Amino acid sequence: MAIHLTGLSNQSTINKSERTHKDDAAAGATEQKGGVQSGGTLAEDTVKLSGTAQTLQNQQAKLNNLPDVDMDKVEQIKNAIAAGEYKIDTQKLANNMASMDTLF
């Protein structure tokens, strides 16, 4: 099924030479915005990070190097459970569960 839409554009019809002239002008404007210097060479873009951004970047790199699970802590808990020494603070657990309900 083909749908033909005509007369929907509010732009007037232009001939081929006018379109070519507009395209050339648009391309020239793009080159000027794109950092082309008068000698025809590209200008070099630079970025300078603030001190805060550098600190955040360094901290993110450190976090990416950390393991997802603290295996030392897992071993401590396993050993405590095996020895029967692992104690659960039921009041703290209940408070944490209740506070999770308020998030949803």
What is the chain's length? 104
Please give the model's pTM, rounded to 2 decimal places: 0.35
Dihedral sign from CA coordinates of 32, 37, 39, 40: negative
- For 34-91, write each residue's pLDDT tens digit: 555 556 677 788 888 888 988 999 999 999 998 889 999 999 999 999 999 999 999 9
